[in-house]
Amino acid sequence: MIVVTGAAGFIGSNIVRGLNTRGVVNILAVDDLTDGDKFVNLVGCQIADYQHKDVFRALIAADTAPKIEAIFHQGACSDTTERNGQYMMDNNYRVTLELFEWAQRHRVPFIYASSAAVYGAGPDYAELLVNERPLNVYGYSKFLFDQVVRARTHQLTAQVVGLRYFNVYGPQEQHKARMASVAFHNMNQFKNDGHVKLFGGWDGYGDGGQMRDFISVDDVVSVNLHFLDHPGASGIFNCGTGRAQPFNDVACTVINTLRESHQKKALSISELVSEGYLRYVAFPEDLKGRYQSYTQADLTALRQAGYDKSFKDVQTGVADYVRHQLAQNHN
């Protein structure tokens, strides 16, 4: 049996689908469905069983969990604005530590979600301690567990892989509300308001010019499954495309793909601005000094670990996402 925690969440449910595509259905889905609407992410998935996260945690603590082949630990509080440090550290750090220690005792591969939030404001995004300065307790909760892995690297009994996700977008993120991707919010804004708003220039970047490493959830699943296939590889790895692109690219791709669905021609960024489809608002004062204006994953370690597939750029991945959402809405 393979365990996926956070299985009803964004990345977790996509990993379940990725496993299903391989014919793997003996999956224990672990999550918290107090927010019952998240069940929709598991519709269409094949799993063997579902357990509430607290039940699974108790089984791990009592050492009475069923036989497990591998754990994809995606369950966490992903709200970077959460200020309750006690809750964040228990949910993100302590639970991860408990699962890790159980997996080590039983020699079970453990692939977990870290985050690019450990790097704070950057500007360097290689997996080195000198680059890691988290700006919030969410980032710190991920950072601290990564340090545990580093400290125990030379005494591991089974694979441990931490994947530092950059800006992930794609299907199954609707429940994330304000923490959903830029692409998701751009889609909804254009459909509801007929235009998309981006932050204006700041920090040396022009209007909509701040740049992030945006990665499709399809590529994130591919990286996770690569490590499942290579149990001899352990470590902490960036999971991004290695390509920073401006927010303008996301907005333009969203708008033009939605226009395409109505048989309307694609417009250049200058045309989108002049016709009012793309608008800019003053950069918020309260975000100045606390905002990642630029992120770009250093993929050196990931490539050295044998992952050699290419990643979708924004123009390809976001367009695929928009078309997928349109198809879902028509079904």
Q: Buried (b) or exposed (e) across 74-100, using 16+ Cβ within 10 A?
A: bbbbbebebeeeeebbebbbebbeebb
The rounded distance, in Å, linking the Cα atoms of 287 and 296 is: 20
Rounded CA-CA distance 176/239 in Å is 20
The tokens for 194 are 């007929």
| 138 flagged as catalytic | yes
Residue 174 CB-half CA count within 13 A: 14
Q: Which two tokens stand for residue 153?
A: 């690297």
CA 248 to chain centre: 21
Distance CA 316, CA 326 (A): 16
Would strands 27-31 and 49-52 be described as parallel, antiparallel, or unpaired? parallel
Residue identified by tokens 């704070």 is: 120
Q: Rounded to whole angstroms, what are the CA distances from 288 to 22, 37, 133, 291?
A: 45, 35, 17, 6
Q: Measured between alpha carbons, how far is 171 from 166 in angstroms, rounded to an integer?
A: 16
Query: Cα(first)–Cα(last) distance of the chain, in Å?
Result: 32
Catalytic, 294? Answer no
Radius of gyration of the chain (CA): 20
CB 77 within 8 A of CB 84: no
Q: Which residue has the tokens 């604005």?
A: 81
In the set 112, 125, 138, 140, the catalytic residue is: 138
Side-chain-side CA neighbours of residue 217 (13 Å): 23
Q: How far apart are CA 203 and CA 206, in angstroms?
A: 9
CA pair distance 32, 70, nearest whole angstrom: 20
Catalytic residues: 138, 176
